[in-house]
Chains A and B, each alone.
Chain A
Amino acid sequence: MHAITHPLPARQLKGDLAVWILILSELLVFGLFFLGYAVAARRHPALFEAGQATLDTGAATLNTLALLAASAVVVMAIERLERQRTREAGRLLALAALLGSLFLVNKALELHHHLALGITLSTSLFHMFYLGLVSFHFMHVLAGVIVLSWVARRCLRDTPPELNTVWSAGAYWHMVDLVWVVLFPLVYLL
């Protein structure tokens, strides 16, 4: 008797197609936002330079490292899950959610600081872009942390979701990371 074998596809999109379409849509929206920011900064260099000087680059650097670390931990978790090491994957995903939460707390403090000073979206063109971009990204990190926490909980209970679902969650998280990798230097450094 011969075993029925299915050849593995040579190339595979890891995750749900609908999630990847969502990822591309989000990238497109953020991309337009970034280009809009760059055009506005070129037209009002003094305003954007003054606004940028009020931002805490140290905290933003720490946040960048937290997001990158969370992404690496997600990759490690998925590798464990692919080898059926479910509990280990769950612990790593919980760590990734914790690192994401660190980003959220840090960012919430930064936003609270600006709001306490009476700074809003209508304060200036710089603040409209800065608060708009950072808040929009914040909501994406929040959604990512919720999804990672849910997958971690399922793994820790030994009832992991389908691998395709975990791949999708990972891809979404990495998209959030990829967007921040562009956003951070654009808003805080350049």
Chain B
Amino acid sequence: MNPLLALGLLAALTLLNVALNHSGVQGAWLIPITLALVWAKGLVIVEHFMQLRVAPPLWRGLVHGWLLLVCTGIAVVAP
């Protein structure tokens, strides 16, 4: 992915997350959606910025595993 395209996508997801959390909307789905957007942003960073898409599967899996574990853990634990 072109780095400027990736930046545009990451900026859009960031602003969407801020707008969503400041819209005054409440609901059980707000935290999972927020963390799904975080996961999507992390995916772009891991695959296209860190270039782990060309790395051995072990390293790719470790960083993706961390991202998934952190996002899921926060979603489960968050109030």
**Main SS at interface, chain B:** helix
- For B6, what are the chain A residues with a Cβ–Cβ distance below 8 Å? 72, 75
- A-B interface contact total, Cβ < 8 Å: 115
Of A27, A69, A71, which one neighbours B63 at CB under 8 angstroms?
A27
Please, how many angstroms separate the alpha-carbon atoms of A85 and B3 in the complex? 17
Of A38, A42, A61, which one neighbours B18 at CB under 8 angstroms?
A61
Q: Across the interface, do B50 and A171 meet the contact criterion of CB distance under 8 Å?
A: yes
Please, how many angstroms separate the alpha-carbon atoms of A182 and B38 in the complex? 6
Q: Across the interface, do B34 and A190 meet the contact criterion of CB distance under 8 Å?
A: yes
Which residues of chain A from 148 to 190 have a CB within 8 Å of any chain B CB? 170-171, 174-175, 177-178, 181-182, 184-186, 189-190
Q: How many residues of A contact B (CB 8 A)?
A: 43
- For A76, what are the chain B residues with a Cβ–Cβ distance below 8 Å? 3-4
Q: In angstroms, how far is the closest chain B Cβ from the Cβ of A80?
A: 11
Which residues of chain A from 71 to 105 have a CB within 8 Å of any chain B CB? 71-76, 79
Which residues of chain B from 5 to 43 have a CB within 8 Å of any chain A CB? 6-7, 10-11, 14-15, 17-18, 21-22, 31, 34-35, 37-38, 41-42
Q: Across the interface, do A72 and B62 meet the contact criterion of CB distance under 8 Å?
A: no
Closest chain A residue to B73, Cβ basis: A35
Q: Is A2 close to B, CB under 8 A?
A: no
Please, how many angstroms separate the alpha-carbon atoms of A34 and B67 in the complex? 11
Please, how many angstroms separate the alpha-carbon atoms of A28 and B73 in the complex? 13
B interface residue numbers (CB < 8 A to A): 3-4, 6-7, 10-11, 14-15, 17-18, 21-22, 31, 34-35, 37-38, 41-42, 45-46, 48-51, 54-57, 59, 62-63, 66-67, 69-71, 73-74, 77-79
15 A-B pairs besides A11-B57, A42-B78, A178-B50 with CB distance below 8 A are: A12-B55, A13-B55, A28-B66, A31-B69, A35-B70, A41-B78, A65-B14, A71-B45, A75-B49, A76-B3, A185-B17, A185-B34, A189-B21, A190-B21, A190-B74
A selection of 26 A-B contacts at a CB cut-off of 8 Å is A12-B56, A13-B56, A14-B55, A27-B66, A31-B66, A35-B73, A42-B79, A61-B18, A65-B11, A71-B45, A72-B7, A72-B49, A73-B3, A74-B49, A75-B49, A79-B3, A175-B50, A177-B49, A178-B42, A178-B67, A181-B38, A185-B17, A189-B21, A189-B34, A190-B31, A190-B34
